[in-house]
Structure 1
Amino acid sequence: MQDQGSISSRLSQRALDSLAAPVPLRAKLIRALPELYHPTLNPTGAINMGLAHNDLMQKDIMEKLSTCLEFQTSDLEYGDPHGSRVLRGLVADLMNRHFNPVIPLHFRNITVVPGAGAAVWQLVQSLADPGDSVMVLAPYYGNFDLDVCVSTGVKLIPIYPHHSMDGGIDMDLLNSTKIIGTKCKVLLITNPRNPHGCCYSVKDMKHLLTFASKHSLHVIFDEVYGLSTFNPIPGTESSLFEPFTSVLSIANIEQWIAPQLVHVVYGMSKDFCLNGLRLGFIVDQYNADLRSAVTLSSMFGYMSTLNDRLVCNLLKDTTWIDWFVNTNRQRLYKAYELTTKYLEQLGIEYIPSGVGPFIVVKIDRLFKNHGQEISFEIEEAIWETALLNGVYIAQGYVFHCLEPGYFRLTYSLEWDHNNLHMLWGTS
């Protein structure tokens, strides 16, 4: 018999490559999870200001969901792996009401997958081959390292066509971006932006579409925070910042790019506080072959019949859904006002935002005021110290910021002044 100690793990090269892929955001979350607050398992745990979650509407969504869950004999049978026709039609209706597509969406334009991350992964699987690459506008949501690269053989290449975190697209920087031969197949964009908490203008979006068309790239727009914006300010017509515009609503898009190259990712996790239900959508109006491909691959992320009916019952009440969207925007705006006033009181620099549930702060000035320079090593030490003292925050490093000193803070929490004192050490 062969010595068991001499037998390797015998994993595929694909699996080994996936294990070796660096995903800083995931590594930090794994480090923090045992420390985080849980009402029963860890009641004295750290406040979770590092994950993007919205607690402001939890009671409302819980009350509504309790009326939406039902069991039927048909739940014991296979449902539609890519979502029932009813669910896909209701998602199309939701987006027709709130994303203002030029051409109304139809149920055939929607594929249901287990989360927005899975939507990105399935699109990459269908649009790029091993050895190809995906370009992403950076800084970017750190789990794209996972969504794009794991088990795909595809590389993720960050590009930085902005002069500042909250700045728009600089065309000179964008056009100077080097495309590596024909190996780059996709441009990945988050709008509203993460971690920035702001939106691209229509002008910038057209620049990005033109750039993609020039290089024959597919474009994936991740719009998962599309309904968590507070521009215009709820109850007014005033806009403090650039409002959100879905790429679906750009008229005559064929002037900038072939429409079959444009794809949208959406989901229920962020705008509807349903992270745990794992419900995401691939939205495509013009590429029938791609829709067929992701419908086939959805067999490996089969849609639960219970989740399907639960969300159908939720979305059918359009009056309640529209109330929820508007109320969520109002509460996010109030939480944003509280947060920014408190940061200003403490002299903490932040990037003005128009999107919940988080805000980016920059603390390098605090060091410069004392004749010091911040570094990624100091940023890491601050992150670790905050966690050990009861607060989990997201450092800029996990979003691939080029400069140290940025932190993303989730503010969509139940406000408690004791929590604030724990975070900033004030009294």
Structure 2
Amino acid sequence: MWRELQLVRKGDGLDPTVIARLQSSLDSLTDDEESRAHFSAVFYTGLFAEHPLYRSLFPAGMESQGHRFFRAIEFVVKNLPQHRRIRKFLTQLGRDHRRYGVEREHYEAAGVALERAVRSMYGTSAHSRYKWTPELEDAWSQFTDLVVSTMADGAESDTTPALWGATVVSHERVLDDLAIVRLEADPPIPYGAGQYVGVQIPQRPKMWRYYSPAIPTNPFGQLEFHIRKVSGGWVSPAIVSETNVGDRWVMSTPLGGLEVDFTSDRDVLMIGSGTGIAPLRAQVMEMSQRAHNPRVHLFVGGRYPCDLYDLETLWHISLSNPWLTVVPVSEEPENPWWHNGPVLEPPFGMHSRLIGPIGKVVSQFGSWADRQVQISGSPSMIKTTVYALRAGGTPLDQIRHDPLY
């Protein structure tokens, strides 16, 4: 408790030595997908063994839950030096967990299970070369104190509803594996352009997924989601193939930190791939209502030209907003043989379509060190794009992306 009070009063995050110890520890224990999955499994096994009733708070299938758990832990540990950003993220995450009925005691139990999971990983044969030390125990104890107290305080301080309802008013299949779904929420959800929300659909109860609205919030509660079918997934195929007008969706507290800092003198670089353009699209739409904006270069990518499904909308926004430049990118020069839709080429006057992986294409323009940078897409796309930008001279602390989207 004393350490927790010290953290709150200090207000400047954990000591750099502690942060370095935590980052090294997590990297050494979870250096491949198998060990990451094992780490998540050990955490949940220990939590449910100690508190069997907590199992009812989670879905039947835990694979995606374990994946999201690890990604959240990894994101927090890697970004601990940016303490304000991490406190904001953890506060939002605590508010989001209100949809499960989570109380402070649940967070405290999870903190204990997390420490036990880390300690037990050091006892496995795969990590026998690493030693569990008093310094590591103290570092992970400080980390769990920070996570538990910030999430619990965030949840307890939020007076807005934990859940919102929304009705599907339109379902448009723009590609075989991609649909645009429009809804009306009651009451309107107070999200910021660039954020994402937890979504639960009637076809898959208790299976929550995160999606980002592709339009800014408005007084009428209108929302738009761009959903791509994930092969082998549970929720996205049902949204693309089974959603009907009139369906009732449930949504949770908005999350995420993608936003333009209008107090900065830096221009903006946005990089979106596939349906990852949604949070970027919402921001430029909202910016189009402002009198003054920084310059924005928006790179829109996909594997095939047909994946650039929203170019016309973005082109129309750029026509009346000279601060916005839209650059289309596709990894392949032509559509696949099985695509029988129209050939979508950039509208007349738009930048010509560039060919190649989007991170590599963007980095070929040189360093973007003078920009605010946002990246949105699949985890692999984000990872490779961050690597390409850093190799080209863009500082990591100027690059933003969401951990759970």
Question: Does TM, scored on the shorter chain, surpass 0.5?
Answer: no
TM-score by length of 1: 0.24
TM-score by length of 2: 0.25
Structure with a larger share of its residues in strand: 2
Considering Cα pairs closer than 8 Å and 6+ residues apart, tell me whether 1 or 2 has the greater RCO: 1
